[in-house]
């Protein structure tokens, strides 16, 4: 991993280059404006620069987008008006005082009915977190079963749903673990994460064969990965 820069006319941008066992080059712009480029271990500087020049306009647009909204990127406060995602769609949080706790979705709102009302942010956070976990137990189990069937593995593969700070999914032993917050993303992104972890059952590390298998099982996964990282960091 090293920092370098690409020059395009009078403009230049610094990026972090990560060489790994993979077959393609990809670029991601983070909400904090960091540009991350992942490439095959033996990719030449010329090939990387050619790729980045082709992607220059897209990179420029992403940097401009995040600069515009950078001040709006903050930790959730769990107050009415904030945006939350479910299966790729954005919903506005609305908190209402009620006799029973309940969460419902309308066309564009995530409505939290809370016995403690809108003034208890920690309680609202707890309700929303539990709601995501409950949805995950249905949605992620369903999507996992769909993807697992495609692989045709003979041994039993288990699914565990557990909160993770920095990962959407992981694989260990015979168990795939998925982050319940993955239900924020659209189905294609969920399928990408599940496919990635299921590929690890055959190839434990990120070898060339792993990425070839990933390309076979999910053609075009790079675009879905970039979309997921742009949206949720």
Based on the domain organization, do 225 and 118 belong to the same domain? yes
- Whether 114 is covered by a domain: the verdict is yes
Assess whether 54 and 119 both reside in one domain.
no
Please give the pLDDT value at position 71.
44
**Reported pTM:** 0.68
In a domain, 207, yes or no: yes
As a dihedral over the C-alpha atoms of residue 10, residue 62, residue 225, residue 167, rounded to 10 degrees, the angle is 110
**CA-to-CA separations, 68 to 13, 29, 72, 73, 229, in angstroms, rounded:** 18, 14, 9, 10, 18
The pLDDT confidence band at residue 65, using thresholds 50, 70 and 90, is: confident
User: Do 67 and 122 fall within a single domain?
Assistant: no
Q: Please check whether residues 139 and 214 belong to one and the same domain.
A: yes
pLDDT score for 68: 63
In the structure, what pLDDT confidence band is assigned to residue 233 with cuts at 50, 70 and 90? low
Confidence of residue 211 (pLDDT cuts 50, 70, 90): very high
Q: Is residue 165 part of a domain?
A: yes
Higher-scoring residue by pLDDT: 227, 73? 227
Looking at the predicted structure, is the pLDDT value of residue 226 above 90?
no
Full domain range(s) for residue 89: 83-232
Average pLDDT over residues 198-220: 92
* Listed residues 46, 72, 98: the one ending a domain: 72
pLDDT digits (tens, 9 = 90+) for 115-153: 998 889 999 999 999 999 999 999 999 999 999 999 999
pLDDT at 95: 95
Write out pLDDT tens, residues 161-198.
Answer: 998 877 899 999 889 999 999 999 999 999 999 999 99
Report strand pairing: 158-161 vs 11-20: unpaired
Using the predicted structure, report yes or no on whether residue 70 has a pLDDT greater than 60: no
Domain identity same for 68 and 91: no
Closest CA to 15 of 58, 59, 50, 47: 59
Count of domains in the chain? 2
Identify whether residues 108 and 16 lie together within a single domain: no
Whether 78 is in a domain gets the answer: no
pLDDT classification of 57: cutoffs 50, 70, 90: confident
pLDDT value, residue 72: 45
For residue 1, name the pLDDT band (cuts at 50, 70, 90): low
Alpha-helical regions (H) of the chain: 45-54, 56-69, 121-151, 187-202, 208-217, 221-232
Highest-scoring range by mean pLDDT, 27-41, 59-73, 101-115, 159-173: 101-115
Local confidence band at 69 (pLDDT 50, 70, 90 cut-offs)? low
Residues 94 and 67 in one domain: no
pLDDT at 196: 95
Indicate if 91 and 16 belong to the same structural domain: no
- 3-class secondary-structure state, position 107: coil
173 and 121 fall within a common domain: yes
| 36 shares its domain with 61 | yes
């Amino acid at each position: 991993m090293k920092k370098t820069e690409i020059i395009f006319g009078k403009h230049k941008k610094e990026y972090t280059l990560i060489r790994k066992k993979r077959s393609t080059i990809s670029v991601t712009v983070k909400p904090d404006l960091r540009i991350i480029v992942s490439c095959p271990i033996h990719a030449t500087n010329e090939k990387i620069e050619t790729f980045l020049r082709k992607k220059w306009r897209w990179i420029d647009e992403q940097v401009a987008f995040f600069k515009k909204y950078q001040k709006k990127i903050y930790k959730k406060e769990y107050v009415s008006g904030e945006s939350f995602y479910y299966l790729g769609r954005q919903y506005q949080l609305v908190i209402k005082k009620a006799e029973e706790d309940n969460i419902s979705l309308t066309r564009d709102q995530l409505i939290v009915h809370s016995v403690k009302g809108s003034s208890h942010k920690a309680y609202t956070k707890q309700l929303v977190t539990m709601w995501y976990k409950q949805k995950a137990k249905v949605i992620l189990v369903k999507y996992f079963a769909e993807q697992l069937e495609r692989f045709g593995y003979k041994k039993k593969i288990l699914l565990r749903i557990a909160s993770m700070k920095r990962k959407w999914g992981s694989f260990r032993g015979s168990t795939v673990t998925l982050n319940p917050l993955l239900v924020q993303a659209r189905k294609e992104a969920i399928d990408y994460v599940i496919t990635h972890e299921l590929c690890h059952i055959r190839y434990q590390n990120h070898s060339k064969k792993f990425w070839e298998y990933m390309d076979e099982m999910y053609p075009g996964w790079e675009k879905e990965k970039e979309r997921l990282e742009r949206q949720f960091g």
